[in-house]
Amino acid sequence: MPALTLREVLALDPVRAAEPELLAGGGALDRPVRWVLPLLLGFARSGGTPVSEVYEGANFLDGGELLLTNGFGLVGADEETRRRYVRELAARGAAGLAVEIGRSLPGMPPEVSDEATRLGLPLLALRRAVPFVRITEAANRAIVARGLSGRSVVRPWGDDHTAALLADLADRHALNQPEVEARAALAGFHPAPGARLIGVSVHGTRESGPVDRAVRLLGGAGFLRAAFPGDVLALLALPASPVRPGDPVRAVQDAFRATAEPGLTVAVGHPVAAGGGWLRWSDTLRAARTTLELALTVPAAEPGATDGPLVTSSRALALERELTRGGVDANRERLAGLVQHALGPLLAWEAAHPSDLVRTLEIHLRNGCSPTRTAALLHIGRQSLYQRLERIESLLGLEIDDPDLLGELLAAACAHRVVRGTAAAVPAGLRTVA
């Protein structure tokens, strides 16, 4: 099914009510319209003299947008500024420009029409004032509906538009807030005011059952979820409720630990405000996906339970994520340098003597330098731990509980585990989104 065209948008009732008149670009009426957006135009002045144009939004177009404006920014602008503005819109791939005539702008400036004609950019004069919100709602609803009707449902859980939305958010494709809200609403996702959104990525299943069971245990959580080859991606909305105070990340992790099957790996993103905009929605999904990939390729810093699912979070692997921002391969040389600088003597010792000093150091630092906790996690006695710590300090020539050294040593130990683990891992073709 082809995308909605500009000609079809002009046939919508709210657009027709604005009495549009085509002034230029008649040969491009069949070009696809990806979205209809109101564009705010302003013009800065100093003492009545124009000093700079302020065209908010023109620089953020991705192509295919039909722009609506009241024309205020064209009032008082000089001829070259108006021509340059039309050129910029055409260069950005705009589907067209519709200008309200009569209130702010008494008539279409001839240089705007001339430049639009020269470039083949559809230019519309809206002769009657109609609230732009009515036009954008009708047009964008029609655009989304057309897009959905042209898709075949190939994934086992149907709701292919849900999968497409989650994939677009996780990959941070070019989106905008009205589009995301419209697509989420069509999927039945209506986060309540004050809700906290948390992205989740599950590996090891082609079914969304683990997400559904966790959501039921959470009670009252809205969600978007879709199954992809080998993985499930979800966006959960936890309502703000004084009845259930506490850490939302911990609540989601506990729900998956209680309901997910052994062998699954679950990564939970960080909480974001539902009203924070689509980029925040994208952030938590991307954090969950990145965390999942690290959980599958990098050895865990500490021993975990072996009789249930592996459930981790973006904050649990925050250091690993920061060290590998941009990809492990892109950072491998830098990480190797960090490891050698901070831990060179330990690595040389371990190459010549069977030992576990680097791992001991990392676990000790991660647990606040607590001998009791470290010894328990390593399954050794405290006396054996003290001997290891003395050996580490002797080789490095420093005290490992020095506050000035904690950050560098922990980062280096973590980098060593990341580089060693990813170098030994067999590529598994992981794709958490289609």
Q: Does 181 have pLDDT greater than 80?
A: yes
Measured from the Cβ of residue 216, the count of other Cβ atoms closer than 10 Å reads 12
Using CA of residue 278, residue 188, residue 432, residue 257, what is the dihedral sign? Answer: positive
Q: Does 67 have pLDDT greater than 70?
A: yes
Q: Does 307 have pLDDT greater than 60?
A: yes
* C-alpha to C-alpha distance for 171 and 355, rounded to whole angstroms: 42
Q: Does 82 have pLDDT greater than 50?
A: yes
Give the pLDDT score at 142.
Answer: 76
Give the pLDDT score at 53.
Answer: 39
Residue percentage of the chain with pLDDT more than 90: 47
Q: Does 9 have pLDDT greater than 60?
A: yes
What is the mean pLDDT of the segment spanning 10-34? 91
Contacts of 387 (CB under 8 A, 6+ apart): none
Contacts of 238 (CB under 8 A, 6+ apart): 195, 196, 197, 198, 218, 220, 221, 248, 251, 252, 271
* C-alpha to C-alpha distance for 240 and 300, rounded to whole angstroms: 33
* C-alpha to C-alpha distance for 153 and 43, rounded to whole angstroms: 48
Give the pLDDT score at 186.
Answer: 79
Please state the φ and ψ torsions of residue 69, each to the nearest 5 degrees.
-145, 150
Band the pLDDT of 395: cuts 50, 70, 90. Answer: very high
Query: Cα–Cα–Cα angle for 217, 223, 229, nearest 5°?
Result: 100
Band the pLDDT of 197: cuts 50, 70, 90. Answer: very high
User: Is 252 exposed, middle or buried (CB count within 10 Å of its CB: 0-12, 13-18, 19+)?
Assistant: buried
Q: Does 54 have pLDDT greater than 70?
A: no
Bigger pLDDT: 123 vs 276: 123
Give the pLDDT score at 154.
Answer: 32
Of 191, 186, 164, 159, which is closest to residue 175 (Cα–Cα)? 164
Give the pLDDT score at 306.
Answer: 60
Order the strands of the 123-126 sheet from edge to edge. 20-24, 123-126, 96-100, 65-69, 35-38
Give the pLDDT score at 427.
Answer: 39
Q: Does 287 have pLDDT greater than 70?
A: yes
Q: Does 211 have pLDDT greater than 50?
A: yes
Of 172, 148, 279, 169, which is closest to residue 226 (Cα–Cα)? 169
Query: Cα–Cα–Cα angle for 222, 224, 225, nearest 5°?
Result: 125
Give the pLDDT score at 120.
Answer: 94
Beta-ladder partners of 96: 66
Give the pLDDT score at 59.
Answer: 58
Give the pLDDT score at 388.
Answer: 93
CA 178, chain centre distance (Å): 16
Give the pLDDT score at 205.
Answer: 85
Bigger pLDDT: 233 vs 188: 233
Answer whether 0.95 is exceeded by the pTM: no
Band the pLDDT of 26: cuts 50, 70, 90. Answer: very high
Q: Does 193 have pLDDT greater than 50?
A: yes
What is the mean pLDDT of the segment spanning 331-343? 92
pLDDT tens sequence across 400-430: 889 999 999 999 999 998 888 755 443 333 3
Structure tokens at 136: 């954008």
> Range with the lowest mean pLDDT among 6-10, 65-69, 102-106, 154-158?
154-158
* C-alpha to C-alpha distance for 168 and 379, rounded to whole angstroms: 45
Q: Does 218 have pLDDT greater than 70?
A: yes
Give the pLDDT score at 75.
Answer: 86
Band the pLDDT of 324: cuts 50, 70, 90. Answer: confident
User: Is 428 exposed, middle or buried (CB count within 10 Å of its CB: 0-12, 13-18, 19+)?
Assistant: exposed
Measured from the Cβ of residue 24, the count of other Cβ atoms closer than 10 Å reads 24
- Spell out the SS3 assignment of the chain: CCCCEHHHHHCCHHHHHCCEEEEECHHHCCCECCEEEECCEEEEEECCEEEEEEECCHHHCCCCEEEEECCHHHCCCCHHHHHHHHHHHHHCCCCEEEEECCCCCCCCCHHHHHHHHHHCCCEEEECCCCCHHHHHHHHHHHHHHHHHHCCCCCCCCCCHHHHHHHHHHHCCCCCCHHHHHHHHHHCCCCCCCCCEEEEEEEECCCCCHHHHHHHHHHCCCEEEEEEECCEEEEEEEECCCCCCCCCHHHHHHHHHHHHCCCCCEEEECCCEEHHHCHHHHHHHHHHHHHHHHHHHHCCCCCCCCCCCCEEEECCCCHHHHHHCCCCHHHHHHHHHHHHHHHHHHHHHHHHHCCCCHHHHHHHHHHCCCCHHHHHHHHCCCHHHHHHHHHHHHHHHCCCCCCHHHHHHHHHHHHHHHHHHHHHHCCCCCCCCCC
Give the pLDDT score at 42.
Answer: 46
* C-alpha to C-alpha distance for 400 and 180, rounded to whole angstroms: 49
Q: Does 149 have pLDDT greater than 70?
A: no
Band the pLDDT of 241: cuts 50, 70, 90. Answer: low
Give the pLDDT score at 172.
Answer: 79
* C-alpha to C-alpha distance for 23 and 115, rounded to whole angstroms: 11
Q: Does 262 have pLDDT greater than 50?
A: yes
> Range with the lowest mean pLDDT among 171-185, 275-289, 375-389?
171-185
Q: Does 227 have pLDDT greater than 50?
A: yes
What is the mean pLDDT of the segment spanning 42-62? 46
Average pLDDT of the chain is 83
What is the mean pLDDT of the segment spanning 26-48? 70
Give the pLDDT score at 419.
Answer: 86
